Structure 1
Amino acid sequence: MTISVRPVDAGDTGAINALHRSVGWPGRSEAGWRWLADNPARLETGAPAGWLLETEDGEACGFTGNFVQRFHHGDQIVHGVTGFSIIVTDRARGSSRKLLTAFHSQPDMFALYTFNANPVSAPLYKRYGMVAWPPETHDVKLSWRVDTLACAGGRLWREIDRRAPRLTEARAERLLNPRLHEPDTLNLPAGVSVLTDLGDQSRFANFWDALKREGRVIADRSPAMLRWRLADPDLTLRPLLLAFHRGETIGGYAMAMMSKGNPIEPPMLEIIDLVALEGEADAIPTLMQALLGNAHGLGAAKLRIQTVSPDLLRRLGPLAASARREGGWGHCHVKFGPRSPGAAIWSPTPFDGDYGICLRPVPVAMAARRVA
C-alpha cells in the first residue's frame, strides 16, 4: 500500500478531527482550525499549517500540525516551529517518519522542536537530529495540588479505566464542579492585578518592549500576538492574565488556562506563560502565589506548568521545591538551525510550545448543567 504525505488544506478539517477522535484527543471547530491557520507568524513564513498522510485511495491515515512562532533576539526577528498532534493510524504504521521528515525539512527556522512529546514518541526524535533540551530540565513538569479529593478521584477513575475500560467507555465527563466559570473576584496579593489592557500603547506593550531589550531569545508576546491568542474560538473560558507591577510599571506577567485532559480527569489550571524582567526578583514568586491562591476557587485540582527552563526553576526558588515533579521522560526536544542565536539565551515556557493551542478546554456547558 502506498502512503503519501502532503500539506493540509482548508478541506481537511473533517478528516483531521476524525484522526484526533481516534486517539481520544480534542479536535477543533471549523472556526478553530481557520483561526489556527491564520496564525500571523505562519502566514509571514508561508509554512504549511500541517501535513496529512493519505493512502492511495485518499483515506487520511496520519497528521501532524505545524505551529510557527515569531521570536525576537534584540532587533533581529527569527522564526521557530513546533510540531503538534502527531497521529498515525494502524493502517499507516511505520509512516510517522514521513510526517517527521516533512516537519524537519523546513528551511529558515532557528529551531524545530516539541515540548510535548509523550513517553512512546520521545525516542523517535533523536533519529531526526533533535536532542533533549534544556539538558537540565527537559524531563521536568511541576504541579501543585490544590484539591486533594479531586486528585484522588482522578486516580480512581484512571485505575477503573485501566482494569475495566467498559465502565468508562461511555466517557461521561467526571469530576466537574460548580466553580468552573469566569471568576467574579480573585484574591490577589499586593502588586498583582488582572491584565485587561492589551492595547498597542498599553503598560503591557511597554513591558514587552523592555523584555525585548534584555537581549534574550523570546517568543513574540506583543499585545497583537496575545490578542490573536485570546481570540481562539474554541476556548470555553478566557485564560487568566495576571500582571506584577510596581506603580504603573509592569515587571512580569502570567497566563493560565483551565483544561481537562479527558473525561475522567479533574480540571487543571495550566500555566501557559510565566515571564519577568531580569531585575524583578519578586515577580515570578508573587505571580505564582497569586495562581496558587486562586486555583482551587477557579475549579482546579492542580496548578501545573509543563515546560520548565533552568532559569525559571531558579526564579521559582522554594516554590519549585514544594512542587510535585511529573513527567520523568524527555518531553522537550529541539533541533537548532545553523544560524540559531544560541540555546543559552532561550528560556522557554509552555507559551513557546503547543500547550496554548492543544490543551482540551473544560466543557463548561456540561458543568453548568450539572450544577443546575
Structure 2
Amino acid sequence: MIVREVRADDYPALNRLHASVGWPQRSMDGWRWLADNPARREIDAPEGWVIVDAGDRPCAMLGNLIQRFVLDGRRLHGATGFSIIVPPQHKGASRPLIQAFLDQPGVFAHYTLNANARSAALYGRLGMRPWPEQTHALILSWTIDPIACFRGRLLRRAYGQTSAEAAEQIGERLMNPRLLQPEHLRLPRDVVEISDVSEGSPYGEFWRALSRQGALVADRGAEMMRWRLADPDLPHRPLLLGRIEDGRLTGTALAMTAKTSIIDPPSLEIIDLQALAGADAIPLLTRTLIRNARALGAAKVRLQALTPELLQTLGRVGRAARREGGWGHGHAAFREESLAPLWRPTPLDGDYLVCNRPVPSAQERRQAQRRATTGRVSKA
C-alpha cells in the first residue's frame, strides 16, 4: 500500500470517501479552512494521509488535526487523528495510516478522543493507551425530548448504520424548525453570550488567567478561537457562554447543535467547559445549556470527552446524566510522559468541533430530496 500526505487537489476525493460512509462532506472553503489552522501551519504538519491506488487517487484516508497547547509560557503541539475512512475493499489500510500519524514529529502527544468501536482496539495494538485512564469510555447525556430520542432508537434499530445509498432513500429525519431558527436564549443574570474573543476583551483576560494556572491546556487564545469559530460549513456559529462573577469572566462553555446521522435526533454537543480555580462556573454553565437545549432544537445534550476532575466538578448535574459509551473512545501516546498528568482534555482538545455533523440547512435538505426523488424515478 502506498501512503502519502494529503494535497489540496485530494479534497474532492476526500469528500467522496466521506459520502461513502454517510459522513458530512466539506465545501472547498471548508477544507481550506482546516488547512489554515494556525497550529498546523506553525509546525508545517501534514493535513493528513491517504492510501492511493496505481493512479495516485486516494482510496482511504486519515485526517490530522494539530492543536496548540500552553504550559507555563511554553508552547507545545499535539496531534489528533480524525476521519479514518477505509472502504471494505481496502481492509488493512487503517494500520499504515495510523502508523504514519504516529510517526509524525514535532508533537508531545498523538491521540484521539473520538475513536469508534471498530477502531478502538487497533489503537491499543499500535502502542496507544486508553486516555484519560478512568473516563476514556464515558459519555454523559441529558435527555431533553424523550419522544424524539425514542424515535431515533427505533430508526437506528430499523436501519442500523446508514450508507450513502440508504441516506438518499430515507431522507433526513427528526428535524424541527428551531434547529435553523433557534428561539431566544433564557440566560441567568450572571451568564452571558460571548461574541468578542479578542485579546483585549473580558474573554482575552479570562484566557490569560486560565493559561497561568499550571495545567497543560489547549490554546483558547484569540487567534485559535477566531479560527475555531470561523468554520464556513457550520450553519450557525458555535455558542460560547461565560459566567460573570464580581465583574469578571470566570468560566466558559462552548456548544454546538449537531445531528450524528440522518436518523439520529439532534443534539447539543458540549465542546468545552473551563473555569478559573475556585470559580463555581461549570455546573451553572452546564445547567444553562441543558435548560436552553430545547430552544436550540436539541433532543438531548451530550458531553463526549471528560476527565475525572471534570466529572467531580459537575457534581449533581453530572450525576443526573445518563452514562453512554461502552468502548474506549480516548487513546493517547505521549512523547513527553511527564506532561500526561498535567493535561485535562475536553472535547475541544479532540476533533469534535471539526467532525460533528452539522444540522443540514434547508437548501441541503431540498437538494437531498431532489436526489432521492430523481433516484426513485430512475429506478422505476
> CA separation in 2, counterparts of 1:223 and 1:7?
29
Contact 1:195 1:241 in 2 (8 A): yes
1:161/1:168 contact within 8 Å kept: no
Q: Which residue of 1 aligns with 2:341?
A: 344
Secondary structure at the aligned position of 1:179 is classed as helix
- When the two structures are superposed, what TM-score results if normalisation uses the length of structure 2? 0.92
Instruction: Please state how far the C-alpha of 1:88 moved relative to its aligned partner.
Output: 1.1
Supply the distance in 1 between the matched residues of 2:160 and 2:330 (Cα, whole angstroms). Answer: 27
**Paired position in structure 2 for 1:86:** 84
Q: Is it true that 1:153 corresponds to 2:151 in the alignment?
A: yes
Aligned pairs for 1:1-372 (under 5 A) are 3-162=1-160, 170-183=169-182, 185-280=184-279, 282-337=280-335, 339-365=336-362
Inter-CA distance 262–108: structure 2 relative to 1 (3 Å threshold): same
Figure out how many residues of one structure are paired with residues of the other and give that number: 365
Contact 1:71 1:219 in 2 (8 A): yes
Tell me if the contact between 2:194 and 2:240 (Cα under 8 Å) persists in the aligned partners.
Answer: yes
Q: For the Cα contact (< 8 Å) 1:237–1:362, is it kept in 2? A: no
Amino acid at match of 1:234: D
Aligned residue for 2:370? none
Aligned partner of residue 295 in structure 2, secondary structure: coil
Which secondary structure does the structure 2 equivalent of 1:308 belong to?
coil
CA deviation profile, 1:11-63 (whole Å, cap 9, x unmatched): 00011000111111111000000000010000010110001101223332110
Q: Secondary structure at the match of 1:286?
A: helix
Q: Please state whether the residue corresponding to 2:359 is helix, strand or coil.
A: coil
Residue 272 of structure 1 deviates from its aligned partner by 0.6
Q: Which structure 1 residue ranges, 4+ long, deviate > 4 Å from structure 2? A: 163-169, 366-369
Give the direction of change, closer, same or farther, for the CA distance of 1:41–1:341 in structure 2 (3 Å limit): farther
Measure the CA separation in 1 of the matches of 2:166 and 2:50. Answer: 34
1:366 positional shift:
5.6
- Residues 169, 232 of structure 1: alpha-carbon distance in 2 compared, 3 angstrom cutoff: closer
1:91 Cα offset (Å): 2.7
In 2, Cα distance between the equivalents of 1:311 and 1:272? 16
What whole-Å deviation, never above 9, does each CA across 1:277-321 have from its counterpart, x for those lacking one? 1210x2001001110110011100000010011111010001111
Q: 1:235-266 CA distances to partner (integer Å, 9 max, x unpaired)?
A: 01111110011132100000000001111111
* Deviation readout 1:133-182 (Å, 9 max, x if unpaired): 11110000000000111101111111221499998661301111011135
Shift of the 91–214 alpha-carbon distance from structure 1 to 2, 3 Å rule, reads: same
CA distance in 2, matches of 1:368, 1:174: 10
Distance 1:302 1:125 in 2: 29
Q: What are structure 2's unaligned runs of at least 5 residues?
A: 367-380
Deviation string, structure 1 residues 180-199 (Cα, Å, up to 9, x no partner): 13545211123111111112
Alpha-carbon distance between aligned partners in 2 of 1:88 and 1:78, rounded to the nearest angstrom: 31
Residues of 2 paired with 1:347 and 1:17: CA distance? 33
Aligned amino acid, residue 37 of structure 1: A
Q: Is the contact made by 1:37 and 1:49 (CA closer than 8 Å) also made in structure 2?
A: yes
Give the Cα–Cα distance (whole angstroms) in 1 for the partners of residues 111 and 254 of structure 2: 22
RMSD: 1.8
Does structure 2 retain, via aligned residues, the 8 Å contact 1:230–1:239?
yes
- CA distance in structure 2 between the partners assigned to 1:69 and 1:179 by the alignment: 32
Q: Give the 3-state SS of the residue equivalent to 1:82 in structure 2.
A: strand
Alignment TM-score, normalising by the size of structure 1:
0.94
Shift of 1:213: 0.6
1:214 Cα deviation from its structure 2 partner: 0.2
Whether contact under 8 Å (1:180, 1:367) holds in the other structure is no
Moved more, 192-201 or 251-260: 192-201
Task: Out of 94-103 and 209-218, give the one that drifted further.
Answer: 94-103
Structure 1 position 90, deviation (Å): 2.4
The Cα shift of 1:364 comes to 2.9
Cα distance in 1, alignment partners of residues 215 and 161 from structure 2 = 48
Residues 176, 367 of structure 1: 8 Å contact kept: no
